[in-house]
Structure 1
Amino acid sequence: MSTAIADLGRRARAASRTLARTSTAQRDAALLAGADLLVSRADEVLDANERDVVAAVEGGVAATVVDRLRLDVGRVEAMAAGLRQVAALPDPVGEVLDGWVRPNGLRISRVRVPLGVVAIIYENRPNVTSDAAGLCLKSGNVAFLRGSSGAIRSNVAIAGILREAYGKVDLPADALVLVEDTSREAAVAFMQQRDSIDCLIPRGGPSLIRSILDNATVPYVIDGDGNCHVYVDAAADLDMARALVVNGKTQRPSVCNATESVLVHEDVAASFLPDLAAALEGVALVGDERTRELVPEAGAATEDDWAQEFLDLRLAVRVVPSLDAAVDHIARYGSGHSEAIVTTDLLAADRFTAEVDAAAVLVNASTRFVDGEEFGFGAEIGISTQKLHARGPMGLRELTTAKYVVRGEGQTRG
């Protein structure tokens, strides 16, 4: 088991050395070839995906998970469009970040370089296979991927097509290496490939994150839960607040930047909450005692509800006496992903952005905007909820590191 995973890791490491000396034009050509091949062989991908979907439905998998798993012609074309979009982005590799000359004449520069082998472990999202491969290739990294058993047929089909495309433009097929063993033992072995993996990024739920924390021996960046809050301030434009909450909760409830909790200042709760409840048709509300007085159909929120990433049409609501109370609630229950305030008070907005500890803090905007593409990165590999080495949406630059290049003329140190 571990030997087989280690062999794949050695292949990935060898390919990373080849990629390090490729040009932007070569990598872009591979991305465009991959996009074209995905579209021309979409039937092959969809046939594999249909088998995964049927197995998931027969296995009683939740509808939101099936939605993440399911592909159609439009989603395959979107995957191809994503590869083309990444190909069109500026290449971060080789960018000179800084430079200076020392009194002894040494010329020192700091330059962006690939991480090397980027490992991604993910659940039931076959589009991640294409997205991750594209971002890794553009930034000069090998994508070492391990998907879930539920999407294995889809992942094998997509990876096979992309590997074939790389070969067509004389890049190593092992610029994308997929682990086809979906056992738990293989996942643990994958997380421990210190000889080959430079950075591990998990894309999945709490159980996957817990497994990373318990088992990984390689450097990792946590793409964590999104218990995202919207705080409706006493000075909020209530029509705006209603629109932002509805969008954040219902536009796509199964993703990590969906709004999961709403905190409402007590001064506006009576006028705001009944209207919000009416606008959130089909959303199950749970709340504190004051919320239930104003919205009788709301259920009682438990302690777990305040900390929950529902990923569903369910929303926790609490009435708070002040901005301080809202910040305290977020500090206690938030996951460090995305937090928003709705207010016309500039001082309140400034306090919120300064005091709330999260990867992204928004003022008068939907939490759904915390996304690499929406930020102008073109795409993302995940959203980091930790502080090292990346935080927030991770685009191409976050898949690089820096090296110092020192140029001299024979200087020696005395």
Structure 2
Amino acid sequence: MSPRDTDSTNTEDHAALALRLGRAARAASLVLATTPTERKNAALLRLAALIEDAGPQLAEANARDLEYGAASGLSAAMLDRLRLTPGRVAAMAEGVRQVAALPDPVGEELESFDRPNGLRIRKVRVPIGVIGVVYESRPNVTVDCAALCLKAGNASILRGGKEAFHSNSTLAAIIARALRETGLPEACVQLMPTTDRAALLALLQRDDFVHCLIPRGGEGLIRFVAENSRIPVIKHYKGVCSVYVDQAADAAMAEAIIVNAKTQRPSVCNAAEKLLVHRDIAREMLPRLARALVDRGVELRGDAATLAVLSESSVPCIPASEADWETEYVDLVLAVRVVDSLEDAVDFINTHGSAHSDAIVTSDAEAARRFQLHVDSATVFWNASTRFNDGFEFGFGAEIGISTDRLHARGPVGLKELCSYKYLIRGEGQVRG
């Protein structure tokens, strides 16, 4: 019987597993924290080569997962996310090489200063320690997260979904080999050998060994982790992102931005879900924006003012419910609302949004300043698509996720966000009186 099929209720076994993984990861993290950049990069480059060499092995493991997924009734979209094509395997290897090429954040001096008593204080970037990553579906996440955590000097404990168990297990074995061959502890990266949720629950209690958790997946998974964890969690629950078209907006720019934000990839967390249009330009501009969206297959759901404007231009739009203003569709559906002012737009976003990615389209610099100042989101755009909220697009090279939290990390979580810091103080015999 596959570990993904077990439904054990033996809590002692789960507790023992969590303890073993946590203890090994903590020991490995202390080694990794002081490992030179060259050795970490050597492990990553070896991993990339091994992934390329393991094409047939990965194909066999992935075929077993696809067979299981089809038998379990996974949708075509989910099966596609699960599938490891030769191109995707090559992309995984290239992604690891890109991480190896990134600057090492560990040891970077953030600031330094002298105290009047002669103490010299330095603030330097250090690894967080042990990071647990809980995710679903895509096997490439196993490699992405392992590579990013490793480069930032962190040991990682990975827990993938049951639908990708064989693919993830094969990739974990390849990672272990790369670590072993380059002289690093294999426990720098560990995959939980079961997808039993009770085992995950046991891991979520190990705040004595695991320092941070990052859940990646649907809102249900993320809430389960956040609500059951004793360990700090870096997360976002959903992406209810809005584009506000101000009265001073350029029509062509507004059209290009909202079409891109909604349709370029509608299933991702930084896709636009709401369109807000200033009342003074609604009659003139809203039909153009709506037509461009409908022509690309978007279903519009509008408030009374939107319905009235669009009925005059014969653009299809159905009435929005109250639930629509807070729904993340991850589909070609968009809720549209006419607002009386910039302040109304800000209030709508802060009330109904998810503090993820929001944008204003305007040629009025003062309006943009006020919008960016008052919208309480991790990323606020002026005249750009919300789809740019991404670690690669920010120049971080890669990311492990996007955070809407207020503490430690906010926005794309790249290598620097996978670090903490500590103070190094040098004295000359000072004692405190």
Structure 1 residues 303-345: Cα deviation after superposition (integer angstroms, max 9, x where no partner): 2221111111211111212111111110111101000011111
1:258 aligns with 2:271: yes
CA contact (8 A) 1:83 1:130 kept: yes
Query: CA distance change for structure 1 residues 54 and 260 in 2, over 3 Å: closer, same or farther?
Result: farther
Give the deviation of 1:136 after TM superposition: 0.5
1:402 to 398, 418, 421: 421
CA contact (8 A) 1:201 1:223 kept: no
Aligned to 1:48: 61
Counterpart mapping for 1:15-414 below 5 A: 15-280=28-293, 281-293=296-308, 294=310, 296-414=315-433
CA contact (8 A) 1:166 1:173 kept: yes
Secondary structure of residue in 2 paired with 1:93: coil
Query: What is the TM-score of this pair, normalised by structure 2?
Result: 0.92
Note the residue ranges of structure 2 that are not aligned, 5 or more in a row: 1-13
CA contact (8 A) 1:224 1:383 kept: no
Equivalent-residue separation in structure 1 for 2:330 and 2:29 (angstroms): 36
Give the deviation of 1:354 after TM superposition: 0.5
Give the deviation of 1:108 after TM superposition: 1.8
CA contact (8 A) 2:222 2:235 kept: yes
Greater shift after overlay, 186-195 or 99-108? 99-108
Greater shift after overlay, 304-313 or 374-383? 304-313
Secondary structure of residue in 2 paired with 1:210: helix
Note the residue ranges of structure 1 that are not aligned, 5 or more in a row: none
Query: CA distance change for structure 1 residues 354 and 399 in 2, over 3 Å: closer, same or farther?
Result: same
Equivalent-residue separation in structure 2 for 1:379 and 1:174 (angstroms): 23
Structure 1 residues 23-81: Cα deviation after superposition (integer angstroms, max 9, x where no partner): 00000111111111111212322332333234334433344433433332222222211
Greater shift after overlay, 294-303 or 230-239? 294-303
How many percent identity over aligned positions?
54
Secondary structure of residue in 1 paired with 2:202: helix
Q: One-letter code of the match for 1:289?
A: A
Equivalent-residue separation in structure 1 for 2:57 and 2:170 (angstroms): 7
Give the deviation of 1:159 after TM superposition: 1.6
CA contact (8 A) 1:64 1:312 kept: no
CA contact (8 A) 2:65 2:167 kept: yes
Greater shift after overlay, 250-259 or 21-30? 250-259
Equivalent-residue separation in structure 1 for 2:414 and 2:395 (angstroms): 9
Q: One-letter code of the match for 1:389?
A: H
Query: CA distance change for structure 1 residues 398 and 189 in 2, over 3 Å: closer, same or farther?
Result: same
Secondary structure of residue in 2 paired with 1:65: helix
CA-based RMSD: 1.6
Structure 1 residues 145-173: Cα deviation after superposition (integer angstroms, max 9, x where no partner): 11111222221122211111111111111
CA contact (8 A) 1:338 1:359 kept: yes
Q: One-letter code of the match for 2:349?
A: I
